[in-house]
Every structure is written in C-alpha cells, then in structure tokens.
Amino acid sequence: MVTLRRYTVIPRLPPALERLRELSYNLSWSWTPMAQDLFARLDPDLWRAVRGNPIELLSRVDQARLEEAAGDDAFTGQLEAAWQTLQRYMQREGWFARSFPEAAGAKIAYFSMEYGIHECLPIYSGGLGVLAGDHVKSASDLDIPLVGVGLFYAEGYFRQVLNADGWQDERYPINDWHRMPVQPVLDDAGKRLVIDVRYPDGVVRAQLWKVQVGRVPLFLLDANLPENAPADRAITGPLYGGDQQFRVRQEIMLGIGGMHALAALGLSPTVCHMNEGHSAFLAIERIGRVMRERGVSFAVASEANSAGNVFTTHTPVPAGNDAFNPDLVRRYLEPYRAALGLSDDDMLALGRIDTADKNANFSMPVLAMRASDHYNGVSALHGEVARKMWRGLWPGLPTHEIPIESITNGVHTPSWVADEIGELFTRYLGPRWAEHCDDPELWARVSEIPDTELWQVHEHRRHRLVQHARRWLHDAAERRGAGREEIDLTDEVLDPNALTIGFARRFATYKRAALLFTDVERVRRLLMHPERPVQLVFAGKAHPQDRGGKELIRSIIHASRDAGLRGRVVFLEDYDMRIARAMVSGVDVWLNTPRRPLEASGTSGMKAASNGALNLSILDGWFVEAWDAHGREIGWAIGRGEEYPDASGDARDAELLYDVLEREVVPLFFARGGMDRMPRGWIRRMKSCIGKLVPMFNTSRMVREYAKRFYVPAIKLEYKLTQSDLAAAKALTAWKEKVRSAWPLVAVKDVRLESNEEVAVGDPVRVSAVVDLGPLTPDDVAVELYHGPTSGGSDITTGSIVRMSLEPKAAGAGSGVSPAGTDGAHTWNYSGKIATSDSGAHAFAVRVLPYNEGMTHPYETTLLRWA
C-alpha cells in the first residue's frame, strides 16, 4: 500500500488582509452581520456556494481577487472596523465578572454530544445541538468562564437525500476539517496534543481540536488517528450512529475522555454541566481523580464532586434517555471500577432507580442525577413531566417537591434574526438590542416601528424564502436525476404573496408532521382558495433507524404531488441551520403539532417569533408559558392542553387545527383595509409577538438563570467542600453515613390534632407530634407538617410545608411526653400550626427528613419518614 503523507495548502493572504484569518477562526462572525458582509464582498457567489464558510471561502477565492481587495480602501476599512469590533468584544468586562466577583477563577465545563453553531461545522443533528450552540454563544456574550467539550465527528450527522418516491436515504460524506473553522491543539513542543482513554481492549488515543466561539473555547476530541484500530477510529465517526455498544464507546470518549482533555489543557473545572445524559461518565472520572489526588474514599470524593455537577434533561421520550444493558456497562466500566473501590453491583447501582433490581438497565440520566446536586428540565411543563418521570429516585416524596427544577430554553437572538429585521431593530430600538435581548423595556419599543416598514421587510423575507426554496428544490431535482419537466416545475412552486406556514424540525412520530393532512380534501380547499391562498413549507430529517419518521416525510412528499396541492406544498431536502434561518425569517406562521407532553421545550418557534412570525401550536413545551403570559397576542393555540396516552387524540387535534386556520388565521392575514391594503391586525400581532416573546425566550436570559441558580451556588459549595483538605466534604459524608445507619430507627410515634376538626378560616390548626430519632438528635433532622386541600379526594394534590418546632424537655425528664413503651431519651416533642385561609376539606401529615446546612437541597439523602 502506498504511504500517503499529508500536507495542507492555505491561502496566501496579502499583509493588508491578514486579519481576515483571525476573524474567520472566531465563530463570532456567525452572529455578526458586519463580518459576514465582509467575507461576502470577496466573492458573493462563492460565499453562497460554500454555505457561508469563511475558511473554505479563503481557500478557494482567486488570488487575484485577494490582491484586488488588499488595495481597496473601502474593503480594508471595513476589515479594520470588523477586527476592532472583535477586539472590543473579546476584551470588555462582562456581566458575570461584574455580578459575581466571588466566583473569580472558577471554570465551568459544558459537555454536549453535539453543537449547532453554524452549518459550516456539521457536528449537530437538531434541537439539542442548536441549543448547545446558542448556550455557548450567550455564555460568550455574558463572559461566563465556560469551556465547551464535545466530539469531532469525521462524518457528523447524515446528509439527507430523498429518492423519487420521497423515501429518505442517508449519505455520510467525510468532513474536510482543514476547510472548516477549527484548529488543532498543540502541546508545548508544538506537536498535536493527544490524550489516552482506557477501554476494555486497550487504550484509545484522541487528538484535540479547538473551535473559538467568541470568548468561549470549544474543544473537540478526535479518535480518527492512524495509531488506533479501525473500530476505535470509528468512535468519532458518525453522530448518533451504531448500536448500544457504539453509543457506550462514544459516551466514554465524551465524558471520561473529555475530563482527560481538560486536564491535558491545564483546566480544572469547578462546575461540570452535562447537557443531557450522554456525558454522565464524566462523574466517574471526576470522582476517581479526587480519590487519587486527595487520598479519600469514593463517598467523600462523590460528595465533593456532586456539588459541582449540573444536569439538564431534554426529553421525556425514552429514545432520548440512553439506558444500556448491564453486561455492556459492566464490561466497559471494568477498567475504572476497581480503582473506585466499588463492586460490580455498586457500580451498576449508580445508574439504576431501583438499586436492588439486578436486571435493570444502566440509565445515563440516572447516573447524571445521582452524581449531581443540580438538575433541571427545559420548560416549566417539562419540569413537571421530569419530576413524575424520575420520582423513583426520591421515594415517598410528593411529586411537586422532587428537586428537578426548570429553566426554560431560549435562542441566541442575534444568530436567528434576519439581517433586514436586525437593521430595523437597530433603527428603532438602537444598537443595544443584540446585547440586551432580555430587556423587556427595550423590546416594548417595537411598537414604534412603522407598520409599513415592518410589513415591507417581512414581505421581502417571504419572497426571499420562495426564491431559496425554488433554487434548493431545483438543485435537489437535478441531483436526483429528475426529468426536465419536473425540474422546470421547481422554478414555479410557491406564491410569494400567499400566507406561508412553516414546519421544520426532527421528524419524530410524536411531532405529528402530517397532522395537517388528516383530511386532504379540507386541506385542498384551504390551500387552493382563489382569493386567500395558503402554502406549506416543510423540512426536517428522520433518524436513520426511525421508519415511522421516514414514512411521515414520504407522506408529505406524496401530498405535495397531489394535483390539488402541487406548488402549494414543498419539502426542502437536507435540513440544516441555513434552511432553518431562511424559514424562521420568511414564513408568516410557524406550525407546531407535538403530542403533548412529549415536546420538552422546542426552540424553532422562538426563532420564528423573533422575526415576527406568529406561532400556531399545541400547548406544549415553551409555548405553554408564552400562551399563559400573552395568549392571542402572540399567535394561536391548538386546543387547551389536552393529553392523550396514544394517537387517539390526533383526529380531534386535526379538527381543532383546521378550525383555527379557517376561522381565525387565514381571515386575519387577508383582512386588508385602507388604501395601502396592509393587514393591520396581523401586523399588530407581529409587533406584540416580537416585543413580548424575545425578552422572555432568549439564551441571554436562560444562561443568566443557569449562572444565578446553578453555576454560582455550585461554585460556592464546591469551594466550601474542597477547602482544608476536603474537611467539609468529609464531615458531610460522615454525617450522611451516620444518618443512613440510624434511619431505620427513626419513627413518628404519635400525632395529635390539638384543635377541633372544624376550624374557622383564619384560625390556626395546631398539631403536636412525638418523634423517635434513635441515636440522632434534633439537629440532624427537620420535622415538618405537610398540608393542603384534598379537593374532595383522599390525597393532597399539591401540599405546603410548615416546619415544626422542637418543644423543650422538662428538667430531669427524657422527654416532655413519652407514649407508653418508648424510650424517652430518644423521643422528642414537636409542635406546629397551620394557617387557614381557604375553606373546604384539608388534610395534613407529619414527616421527618435529614437536615444539614451543608446540603444543596433538603432531599439529597432521599430519606424520608412519614407518620
């Protein structure tokens, strides 16, 4: 075999253009119109051809054009302005440093399986990755001391190709990283930085690449090295490819390899944020490092680390929550188990809700939650769903008290607002809008934008979407080898003036992409109305193994060929961030039809709203909060939040969808009065949508929440637990062991209602209790009254808590009151009173739980004793 020796050819930039290189390798250009315009000026046609990739642009642009640009004062002046803008951005003092000086020196490591930063970096598949990319961008804007960790996929997610029948096929082209905005990480000797990761069959090596996202570095691990075996090189081949074993191997590389990478870079994270459970193995490596470096037990190291771990769960769908066969996990964690001092059962118990079930799969989200003290869902509704879903980890605790919080997702507004809309915002809101996306007062000024200007810009964006769609459909037809007649028809699809409804997302069956086609005849009447035309633009990929999702795509393709729908329904092939930007900024209505409550959050509707598109959605995910706050001012709801266990509700939801389209959406869009024939009512809703939703649903607000509620408390607690040779962690571990050992002896011996069973509103309900704490003391516990209305049933649906007070013991007595047969030395009297403000049937119960001010939340031990 011929030995190939590789080399890279880079453009010879004239000295006057050298700063183009620095600009191109910092992906802040992806949300900076001035920088994008600078690259486009070099060669507009080539810029479109390379899909907005400045590295590939510079590698392919004609050398003569570079020399010409170097002598163009206008071009070099714009280059200087863009470079100075980047320098100011990189050097300014940010929000985090001003707000939390006590967190100086901390480092937050953000782990994600995928990152959607720009389409030129294909290491994302959909919403999870785009959310991660937007999180990193806002972390940069806010100067959060964050570093990203991910994998460097040779193939990335698949490229979608539709055959003549509309069936999705997948292609996996090899990425040419030398034409992308990534750079190799070098060691002190100038050689590639390489780390080793242990697997059962030996060590797998991985090199590191760096992507600079504004002020945040993102490090990617790449196992595609010649010294690795072919199976090991494939670990960083496709994104979300292969079987369970392949996924375990990838997730070990992400979690454990990611921790090795940070150590090799000299970075010791104070906080590790796991964006979904894929990276949860990092907890095992963090614990092992503390054990080796500090000479402490697994329990102490785990206590010290959990304070600094954050876990975000993104979906209630089982396929999104990895759970592996125990034998598989046993094999792959064996190289780490012995060093942790754990038995096989102990290790597997870390990923099981029921630790006694020896046959249960090993759940990555469970491992993440057992190893963390901070957990959240991604919308208020998803927080409720997640608490129900994982309540087995906190047995006996009422569902609403499960300590899984919620931080609703957002979007990085500057990345998703179209240039023309952004210019309008700058003109009427001022240039601060891109940096103050979460300022409600600033966004209230959207009302000052003249209707005429907003509508003209919006119509221009719709026309641009139609142009893009025709070109993409034309290119796809040619690639497919379609006949000339079919190719020519692509140049005539869609009407630039029709009401345009967009639907683009992952084609999972629960998202019900084809719900609108439940009654095809009714759709024909809706779309082909001679005076009020409507059209539909679809895009999205189905997972390669999701046959149901592929069937949905094919059904839409077939519908688009229906004689009564041709030209009014299109499906755009190979959905990516480029298509997403065109759609969210060009449609009039963004359609969302998931089967509630399976849409944890969703962010595409937020992107559309920031461009003035109105949402038409099932009340699920983020839209519940938007609707509860602003209702019809921001769009339309499909139904009232009904939930069905299966597809039995689809027909009803389809009927509601048709009804709202026919009676409300279409008439409002075509209600054109006055000489200018503009839809004033529609424009009012557009302004309301932008002004009210942008300051709520953006990642600036979201990342600030993570910082205030999770990052900074975690930093403070981690510092506290690890100082003085882990003294606080050791003390908390010893206390928890004492409590767990004594807990079987804890009991509520007697509960007495000291008031009448009927009390008037305003009079307190007085309760006393005798609690046997065994060898524990009152300082070790909290005794609480859990109370609330029963709403006519026998249970408290959502209760409140009153802390009971310890009564002093009589002099010389073991206890103030001791029921017969109890040891007064171990029993303690408590009293409490419940305020009454509402009449009706109420109930209460007494409970005991461990209490220590060193815990992050009161349910860390998962121990609870009810009367």
For the stretch 736-752, pLDDT in tens is 999 999 999 999 999 99
Whole-angstrom Cα distance, residue 618 to residue 656? 10
**Region 68-89: what's the mean pLDDT?**
96
Partners of residue 238 on adjacent β-strands = 156
Total H helices, total E strands in the chain: 32, 28
Residue 11 pLDDT > 90, yes or no? no
pLDDT in tens, 606-624: 999 999 999 999 999 999 9
Give the confidence band of 18 by pLDDT, cuts at 50, 70, 90.
very high
Q: Answer yes or no: pTM beyond 0.85.
A: yes
Residue 584 pLDDT > 50, yes or no? yes
Q: CA angle, corner 807, sides to 849 and 858, nearest 5? A: 20
**Region 179-188: what's the mean pLDDT?**
95
pLDDT in tens, 361-418: 999 999 999 999 999 999 999 999 999 999 999 999 999 999 999 999 999 999 999 9
How confident is the prediction for the chain on average, in pLDDT?
94
Is 480:724 a contact under the CB 8 Å cutoff?
no
Give the confidence band of 771 by pLDDT, cuts at 50, 70, 90.
very high
Residue 6 pLDDT > 70, yes or no? no
pLDDT in tens, 327-364: 999 999 999 999 999 999 999 999 999 999 999 999 99
Residue 56 pLDDT > 60, yes or no? yes
Is 788:843 a contact under the CB 8 Å cutoff?
yes
Q: String of b and e for 95-131 (b: at least 16 CB within 10 Å)? A: bbeeebeebeebbbbbbbbbbbbbbbbbbbbbbbbbb
**Region 78-82: what's the mean pLDDT?**
97
Residue 762 pLDDT > 90, yes or no? no
> For a pLDDT cut of 90, what percent of the chain falls above it?
90
Give the confidence band of 814 by pLDDT, cuts at 50, 70, 90.
very low
Residue 792: φ, ψ to 5°: 85, -10
Is 247:322 a contact under the CB 8 Å cutoff?
yes
Q: How many CB atoms lie within 10 A of CB 777?
A: 10
pLDDT of residue 7: 64
pLDDT of residue 162: 96
pLDDT of residue 811: 53
pLDDT of residue 341: 94
Q: CA angle, corner 538, sides to 533 and 543, nearest 5? A: 165
Is 854:840 a contact under the CB 8 Å cutoff?
no
pLDDT of residue 625: 97
Q: Cα 537 from chain centroid?
A: 25
pLDDT of residue 242: 85
Residue 8: φ, ψ to 5°: -120, 135
pLDDT of residue 821: 36
The DSSP code for 710 is I
> For a pLDDT cut of 70, what percent of the chain falls above it?
97
pLDDT in tens, 104-115: 999 999 999 999
20-24, 111-115, 184-188, 811-815: segment of lowest average pLDDT: 811-815
Give the confidence band of 164 by pLDDT, cuts at 50, 70, 90.
very high
pLDDT in tens, 243-281: 999 999 999 999 999 999 999 999 999 999 999 999 999
Task: Check residues 93 and 28 and name the one with the higher pLDDT.
Answer: 28
**Region 8-15: what's the mean pLDDT?**
78
pLDDT in tens, 593-605: 999 999 999 999 9
pLDDT of residue 613: 98
Q: At what angle do helices 680-693 and 451-480 cross, to 10 degrees?
A: 80
Residues 6+ apart with CB under 8 A from 520: 559, 562, 565
Task: Tell me the Ramachandran region of residue 214: left when phi exceeds 0, alpha when psi lies from -120 to 50, beta otherwise.
Answer: left
Residue 448 pLDDT > 90, yes or no? yes
pLDDT in tens, 666-723: 999 999 987 888 999 999 999 999 999 999 999 999 999 999 999 999 999 999 999 9
